[in-house]
Amino acid sequence: MHVRSYYVYIMTNHSGTLYTGVTNDLLRRVAEHKSGRGSGFTSRYRITRLVHFEERGDVQSAIEREKRIKGWDRAKKIALIERDNPGWKDLSEGWYR
């Protein structure tokens, strides 16, 4: 049996606007955001840098985590990002050649 992974992720732009999403294909979804096809919000605000992601084993867990993060205030989201990525580097750098 194939075990599917789901990802909760946070992306940002040059001015620090945050977007939280969930997907079963992180490479594809980040590529969509980078090309402006991700969502109306990410396209409008040019959100192209992946700054945080977490892998989950089931879709329900991923959706619950996404909703929890979306409910947090900005300071708590920033603390989550900076725990593992203090420089806010684009974690997808080098994924696409």
Please report, in angstroms and rounded to a whole number, the separation of the first and last CA atoms in the chain.
31
Q: What pLDDT does 38 receive?
A: 81
Residue range of the domain that includes 37: 6-84
Residue 1 lies in a domain: no
Phi/psi for 10 (5° steps) reads -125, 130
Domain membership of residue 89 (yes or no) is: no
For residue 13, being part of any structural domain is answered with yes
Structure confidence at residue 44 (pLDDT): 94
| pLDDT averaged per 10 residues, the chain (length 97) | 87 97 97 92 95 97 98 98 97 92
3-state secondary structure the chain: CCCCCEEEEEEECCCCCEEEEEECCHHHHHHHHHCCCCCHHHHHCCCCEEEEEEEECCHHHHHHHHHHHHHCCHHHHHHHHHHHCCCCCCCCCCCCC
Q: How far apart are CA 18 and CA 94, in angstroms?
A: 21
**What CATH number should be reported for the domain holding residue 59?**
3.40.1440.10
Residues 26, 64, 45: CA angle, nearest 5 degrees: 50
Q: Rounded to two decimals, what is the model's pTM?
A: 0.94
Q: What pLDDT does residue 15 have?
A: 95
Q: Is 96 part of any domain?
A: no
Total count of domains within the chain: 1
- Which pLDDT score, from 0 to 100, does residue 2 have? 65
The per-residue pLDDT for 1 is: 60
